[in-house]
Amino acid sequence: MNRRLWQIALLLGVSLVLVGCTFRDYHAERSRAALENISNKPIAEAIRYLGPPDSTITVSGKTYYSWKHDDGYTTHDSTPEYVPLTCKLSLRVGPDDIVETAVFRGNRGACAFFLDYLP
């Protein structure tokens, strides 16, 4: 009986390790793919997907476009609190109007908002 219990425990442990090895961070993969899909494309394409940027600034021939998304939730504790979530998508565009870099900055949940609009 004791040996059978050890076999079951070992099998369960090995199963958990295998499940852990196959876990994938789909959000990170989806974010990376979205940023890659928007990079090296005309800025007009990003604007078509995301709408007009929240801010634009040009420095040394490079134009920086950014979109911001604010979200949040209220806790269900005995004293409810509002927890703000925010994300900023920034694109650096060269003089040829091609996106050179794309970066998400902020909370993962708030950044997921942009993934619904990007290809």
Q: pLDDT per position in the chain (119 positions), as tens?
A: 577 777 777 777 666 655 554 445 667 888 888 889 999 999 999 999 999 999 999 999 999 999 999 988 888 888 888 889 899 999 999 999 999 999 999 988 888 888 888 88
Pick from 54, 58, 50, 49: nearest CA to 97: 58
Classified as helix, coil or strand, 13 is: helix
pTM for the full predicted model: 0.71
Count, in order, helices (H) and strands (E) of the chain.
Answer: 4, 4
Query: Whole-angstrom Cα distance, residue 62 to residue 54?
Result: 17
Give residue 79's pLDDT: 85
Query: Whole-angstrom Cα distance, residue 52 to residue 65?
Result: 9
List the domain boundaries for the chain. Answer: 27-115
Give residue 72's pLDDT: 85
Query: Whole-angstrom Cα distance, residue 93 to residue 99?
Result: 4
Give residue 65's pLDDT: 98
Pick from 72, 64, 75: nearest CA to 101: 64
Give residue 12's pLDDT: 72
Pick from 94, 111, 84, 103: nearest CA to 35: 103
Give residue 119's pLDDT: 80
